[in-house]
Structure 1
Amino acid sequence: MSVQNDTVSERQAAVYRLYAADGSLLYIGSSYNPKRRCLDHHTKPWWAQVDRRADEWHPSKAEAYVAEMAAIAAESPTHNEMGTPRYVPPAVKAAARRSSRTGELSIAQILSKHGVSRQSLHTYRQRPDFPKPLREGTSRLRWLESEVAAFFAANPKQPGKRTDLPAKQQGEPAMSGQPITRLSREDQEASEQLHATANLIEARWPGEHPTLVRDLRDLVDAIEEESGVS
C-alpha cells in the first residue's frame, strides 16, 4: 500500500482516506497517527482492497474530526458508518434491542425516539400528565414505551426554534472531564469526538449554534447513559 504525506505531528491530526486500486474511496477517518490507526482496520473484511492512503493534516484533533465528518458527508466512502445517517452508537443499538424486548424506554431512548432535548424532557417530567417511571429511586429510570408514545401523541412537539434551554446553561460542558471507564472503545471514541466537536463549534462560532452544540452533548449523554456510565 502506498502512502501520501506519511508524517506524524504531536500537535496536529490528520484526516486520512483509503483508496482501492481503481481509485474508489473506501474509508475516511481521522487520527493523530493515521499509520498506527490503520492497523486497527486490518481485521476489516474490506482491508484487502486498500491500495493507498492519503493524509490531510489539521491543526487539532477537533478540527480534523469536523473535516472528517464533512468529507464523509460529501464524498460517500463505501465503508464508513459514523458520520452517515445509518450510524447508531453500539450502546444505543443495545438499548434499542432491550426496548424491543421489554417495551420500556430510557431517557436516552426517549430523546432519540421523540426528537426532544434533555432539557425539554426535564420540563415535560415536571408536568402531572407525563408518565411516571416504572421504578423510582434508581439512576437508570425506565418508562413504558406505550405511555410515553401516548403523551407525545397528545402533546406534539411544536416546530420552530427551541426555547427550552436557559441561557446560563448554553455552552455548559456535559462531561465532567473524568475518565470514561465502562464504555466500549467505539463508544468512547464517538463520545470524545462529539464532545470535541461541540467545544470547537463554541470556540469558533461563540453563541451562533447553541442548538447544534446541545444536540451533540445530548448524544454524548445518551451514549454514556446507555453504557451505564454515571
Structure 2
Amino acid sequence: MKIKIFTTLLFLCSIVAFSQEQKMSESEISSFKNAVNNTAKSTKTLTADFIQYKHLDFLEKDIETSGKMNFKAPGALQWEYLKPYKYSIVFKNNKIYINDAGKKSNIDNNKMFDKLNKLIVGSVNGNMFDDKEFTISYFKTRDFNITKLLPKDATLKKYIKQMELYFDKSGTVSQVKMIESSNDFTKIIFKNKAINAKIDDSVFNN
C-alpha cells in the first residue's frame, strides 16, 4: 500500500515538473521564432472569441469580460466587448477609435499610443521579437511556448512591467498577460480562432 502511494506521488510530481516552465535552448528559440514569423507573415486575418480577466489586488475576484477580436493585416485591430457591457475599440491608421455603447470618440497618434498600438497588434499576430524595444526571454511548457517581454522604453515601463505571450504549438497566440507596474494584471484567453477567414472592412468602422 505504501509503495502504491509513493509511486502515485512520484507520478504526480513528474506531471507538475513536466508542466512547469523551462528555458528554451538557443536552437529552440531560433526554431520557435522562425515558426512564429512564418505564421505571422501568412496570417492575413485572424478572428477569435476572448475572455479577459482583470486582476486587482484589492478585489477578491477578478473582473471577467468577454467578446470578439478581429485582426486584418497589416495593422487593423478591433476589440469588441460584449459581456457584461458593450464597448469596442479599434486600432487603425495610427488612430484609436472608441465606441462606448454608442458614444464615439477617437485618439490621434502620439508616441505613447503608437507604442501601445504596436504592442497590442504585435501581441495578436505574434510579431513582437524586437530586441530594441524589449528584453525578451523564452520558455516552454508541455502545452505552450512562452515569451516574456520587458519594455525598455522608460515611459512604457510606467504602465507595463511585463508582457507574456503564450503560443500554442501551431505558432499562434493563445493567451496574453500584461502585468502593470503595480503588479495588477490583465489576462486574455483566445478561443475559437479562425485564420484567414474573410473580414469585411466595415468591421473596423467604429
TM-score normalised per structure 2: 0.27
Give the strand-richer structure, 1 or 2. 2
Q: Rg larger in 1 or in 2? A: 1
Give the helix-richer structure, 1 or 2. 1
TM-score normalised per structure 1: 0.25
